[in-house]
Amino acid sequence: MAYNKVVISGINTSTLEVLKEEEKIRLLKEYQTTGNKAAKDRLINGNLRLVLSVIQKYAGRGEDIDDLFQIGVVGLIKAINNFDLSKEVRFSTYCVPMISGELRRYLRDYGQVKVSRSLRDLAYKAIQAKEKLMIENQIEPNMDEIAKEIGAKRADVVIALESISEPISLYEPVYSESGDTLYIMDQIGDKNDVDSWLDVLSIRDAIKELGERERNILYLRFLQGKTQVEVANEIGISQAQVSRLEKSAISRIKGNA
């Protein structure tokens, strides 16, 4: 389903505004310093496409898309209320896990798959701790930090959170900005034996035809097993750019192999 062309919760998604990061920060400053409701409303409306991109992974599983959208907006509002402007973090980077957390809480309480009370309670504590740490630090905490916050074993926290999670495809879109769609697969490092992959595709010669930056991205991604986020931080560009360059390089290699 193409959510950018339908009406969800009475909203024509094809007409939604998409705010630039600079405008988001300006509106956040205005809302947080003056309480201007118009600034908050524009922030909400200007990030509804982000909500749509997050809820897509839950589509087609028996959940009402209008309900998911409204729950996602609750997560967006929480992100707006708690975003710390003093931290050097993109609003969307902070916002996505807040929206996902709200959706997971909803599915835990009202989802069709039932789990034990003890697992639900532990998962609920873990989600609360995650949101608390995100508000304090403006970055998504890792599993060790969450486990320490609630005084539980890391393995128990992982099992609890997995028990309330829906399975998703590696090709599910996570976020889309400026035409560059990021998928679950793009955020996973590959630590398998890459030599066999290179041999099968016969790209040892073709890779020499790539630019230095493209070769570096493939080296970091497939030889060192780094995620696109880690590669982006290392070479100083956005994850969307890494995704685009990586896919372009692989397409060129396949064409030349």
pLDDT at residue 95 in the model: 87
* Residue 133 CA: distances (Å) to CA of 84, 142, 149, 175, 182: 12, 10, 9, 23, 25
Instruction: Name the 3-class secondary structure at 87.
Output: coil
- CA 223/CA 221 separation, integer angstroms: 6
pTM for the model stands at 0.46
pLDDT at residue 1 in the model: 38
Both tokens of 235, joined, read 């070479």
Instruction: Name the 3-class secondary structure at 165.
Output: coil
Instruction: Name the 3-class secondary structure at 172.
Output: coil
Digit-coded pLDDT (tens) for 109-168: 665 555 567 777 888 888 888 888 888 888 888 889 999 999 998 888 888 887 766 555
pLDDT at residue 149 in the model: 92
Instruction: Name the 3-class secondary structure at 8.
Output: strand
Helix 117-137 / helix 154-163 crossing angle, nearest 10 deg: 110
pLDDT at residue 20 in the model: 87
Do the beta carbons of residue 53 and residue 174 sit within 8 Å? yes
Do the beta carbons of residue 236 and residue 197 sit within 8 Å? no
Residue recorded with tokens 């062309």: 5
- CA 59/CA 76 separation, integer angstroms: 19
Q: What are φ and ψ of residue 188, in 5° steps?
A: -110, 130
Both tokens of 207, joined, read 């890779």
Ordered DSSP codes for 204-239: TTGGGGS-HHHHHHHIIIIIS---HHHHHHHHTS-H
Show the low-confidence residues of the chain (pLDDT under 70).
1-14, 59-62, 108-116, 164-208, 255-257
Q: What integer best gives the mean pLDDT of the chain?
A: 77
- CA 206/CA 253 separation, integer angstroms: 6
Candidates 249, 232, 250, 233; CA nearest to 241 is 232
Do the beta carbons of residue 153 and residue 126 sit within 8 Å? no
